[in-house]
Structure 1
Amino acid sequence: MSDSSPTPPFKPTIAAGAAKRANASLVGMLLAIFSTIAIVLTIVWLNPQQKAENYRMDIDVSAVAKHAADTAGFAPVAPLLPDGWYANYARWNPAGADGVAFWDVGYVTASNTFIALRQSITANPTWTADQSSNAPITGTRAINGHEWEVRDKPKGDRSLILNSGDNTVILTGAADFADFDFLAKAATDSLSNGK
């Protein structure tokens, strides 16, 4: 005669030592995660927030321009600008493959936009077009008794270009025309004074 009663399903049992080891792995993993989070939060909390003012370098454009004048063979412009404006670089660029050596200064305006000022006595049309991002000529602007050529692209930087004697001065950036006019006037004042 056969026994027709159902057999209970097999239920594995874990030995007490194995269960303890399995729980220890889980507890250890949770402790490692919480301690890692605590360390990361401590590091983030102890580091100060990074602000643009922390990285502002104090560039003395006049001093760099005087130093560059010996190499340049002309007086690089060093416009006098009001509080709120500052230069974030000033450098002399020796002639490259295009044969054009130039004075290059980057200005951050009071409205926190950027305008690059470039000046050369060896400028050529190709270099001028390249410095103005090959933007088309869209007009002229009379600023401080000088006629500046305007080059502008939709959704791009604009440029003002001045040819004055041997000097070519190019202003390029995303600022509005009021800031360009201000820098152009200061640049022509500096150019006229030979400073």
Structure 2
Amino acid sequence: MSETQPDPQQPQQAEDAVTPVLTTKQAKRANATVMGMLIATGLTLALCLVPVLLNPSPKMQARNVDVTAAANQAAGDAGYSPLDPELPDGWTANYARWNTGENNGVPTWEVGYVTPGSEFIALTETNAANPTWVYESTGDSAVAGERQAGGVTWELRDSSSGKASMVAEVEGLTVVLTGSGELSEFDVLAEHVVEDLRGN
């Protein structure tokens, strides 16, 4: 009895039979679907970009607030003469205010300065500082060293947000400088702060 040998061509024919073949119309429909998806995605991205481009990220605005007038107003509440340093050309203040310390129990005098390099440094002054307040005021920063400015040794601090801080006690008042400015800009502000404090 002879055994039937399998035809080596049969598996190949089975594979060929399973391979799908698209007609010209089907291929056009498939391509049209892909093109439609690409166009829809492009339009969606364009619509998302329009508001972003129309609203660029704000740069630090120089409002040039009258710090002297605000300091004179705050003096009665503060019990001391709030800082109003005379800074070189190019420095402007975008806010100056008295904070009653309702939230943390530490009343403060606060001024926000825009540097000539368009960076920002906040000045905070108080006669009621404590270690917790200093830590929070400097953005939960760690002491990184010391820096001399205006004949005073300032505590230099770095925070995880990348902002720097300088802290010093001068004439019985604690001053905190915090912001994104260059350390050379911090030095300029610190020197004028010490000059103003010692002149008062």
* TM-score exceeds 0.5: yes
Instruction: Verify: 1:80 aligned to 2:95, yes or no.
Output: no
- Pick from 143, 146, 159: which aligns with 2:149? 143
- Pick from 65, 71, 76: which aligns with 1:70? 76
Mapped to 2, the partners of 1:165 and 1:144 lie a distance apart of 13
Structure 2 counterpart SS, 1:186: helix
Instruction: Verify: 1:112 aligned to 2:118, yes or no.
Output: yes
Q: Which runs of 5+ in 2 are unaligned?
A: 1-55
Instruction: Verify: 1:191 aligned to 2:197, yes or no.
Output: yes
Q: Map residues 125-136 of structure 1 onto 2, 5 A cutoff.
A: 125-136=131-142
Structure 1 counterpart SS, 2:105: coil
Residues 137-175 of structure 1, C-alpha deviation per residue, up to 9 Å, x if partnerless?
011111111110000135510000011242000000011
Q: Which residue of 1 aligns with 2:66?
A: 60
Residues 62-115 of structure 1, C-alpha deviation per residue, up to 9 Å, x if partnerless?
111111111100111111112211000000000223210000000000000000
- Pick from 179, 187, 195: which aligns with 1:181? 187
Q: Which residue of 2 aligns with 1:156?
A: 162
Structure 2 counterpart SS, 1:77: coil
Q: Which runs of 5+ in 1 are unaligned?
A: 1-49
Structure 2 counterpart SS, 1:97: coil
Q: Which residue of 2 aligns with 1:103?
A: 109
Mapped to 2, the partners of 1:97 and 1:155 lie a distance apart of 23
Mapped to 2, the partners of 1:154 and 1:74 lie a distance apart of 33
Structure 2 counterpart SS, 1:99: coil
Q: Which residue of 2 aligns with 1:172?
A: 178
Mapped to 2, the partners of 1:74 and 1:99 lie a distance apart of 17
Residues 22-81 of structure 1, C-alpha deviation per residue, up to 9 Å, x if partnerless?
xxxxxxxxxxxxxxxxxxxxxxxxxxxx9x89x643311111111111110011111111
- Structure 1 residues 97 and 192, CA, compared in 2 at 3 Å: closer, same or farther? same
- Pick from 94, 99, 112: which aligns with 2:100? 94
* Amino acid in structure 2 at the alignment position of 1:80: E
Report how many residues are paired: 145
- The alignment's TM-score, normalised by the length of structure 1, stands at 0.69
Q: Higher RCO, 1 or 2 (CA under 8 Å, sep at least 6)?
A: 1
Q: Which residue of 1 aligns with 2:24?
A: none
Identical positions, percent: 41
Structure 1 counterpart SS, 2:104: coil
Q: 4+ residue stretches of structure 1 with deviation over 3 A?
A: none
